[in-house]
Structure 1
Amino acid sequence: MDNKINEIRRRISTLRAEMTLVEASIRDQVNRDLDCSEASYRLMAMRAEVAELVGHWKAAGGGERLPTVRERLSRSFADRPVATAKPAAVKSDKGKAKPGQSNART
């Protein structure tokens, strides 16, 4: 049963990712004054499929709240370590010859 729940969640996640791409395509088409009806129908079909999958997920015993795409992305960015600049190397005068001295061993 747990595998079925995980498979449904995986399918929901895949559909949500595809939906964001289709939504971006629709926005691009609208911005260029093109017909976006085909992409809109595809998006509505994806939404219906997600709603159906959520029903199957709940029926299979899934109970925790599913995160939205925005929540998943912000959580994945928050989990990443922050890249910091390396501290500048401090040059020391140790081992360098001072004026009037040589490096020769005596």
Structure 2
Amino acid sequence: MDNKINEIRRRISTLRAEMTLVEASIRDQVNRDLDCSEGSYQLMAMRAEVAELIVRWKAAGGGERLPTVRERLSRSYADRPTAAAKADKARADKPKAKPGHSNARV
């Protein structure tokens, strides 16, 4: 049962990510004074699918509260790994060259 719940949550997460892309596309079309009805219909269909998946998720035993898009995006950056920390670790793990030895080509 947990596998089914996780699969539904993954699908919800994927749909939410796709929805943000469609919303950005709609905003861009509106800003350029273009017709955005196709994107709007697609977004409404995605919202309906998310609502259906949430009903199935709850029926399968999913009980914890799902975060909203705003909550997911507003998480503090301290929770996320940074590229600088990874680069510092990579430099610390890299062995130092011996004097007189280099990678330069002659």
TM-score range, shorter chain: 0.7 to 0.9
CA shift in 2, pair 1:76/1:8, >3 Å: farther
Instruction: Report the TM-score, using the length of structure 2 for normalisation.
Output: 0.73
Aligned to 1:2: 2
Q: Distance in 1 between matches of 2:46 and 2:76?
A: 24
Q: Which residue of 2 aligns with 1:70?
A: 70
SS in 2 for 1:62: coil
Task: Report deviation, 1:68.
Answer: 1.2
Residue type of the partner of 1:58? K
Q: Larger helix proportion, structure 1 or 2? A: 2
The runs of at least 4 consecutive aligned structure 1 residues that moved more than 4 Å come to 81-84
Aligned length: 85
Gaps of 5+ in 1: 85-106
Q: Give the superposition deviation at 1:5.
A: 0.3
Kindly report the root-mean-square deviation, in angstroms, between the aligned alpha carbons of the 2 structures: 2.0
Structure 2, unpaired ranges of 5+: 86-106
- Match in the other structure for 1:42: 42
Deviation at 1:69, TM superposition (A): 1.8
Aligned partners of 1:71 and 1:33: how far apart in 2? 30
Alignment TM-score, normalising by the size of structure 1: 0.73
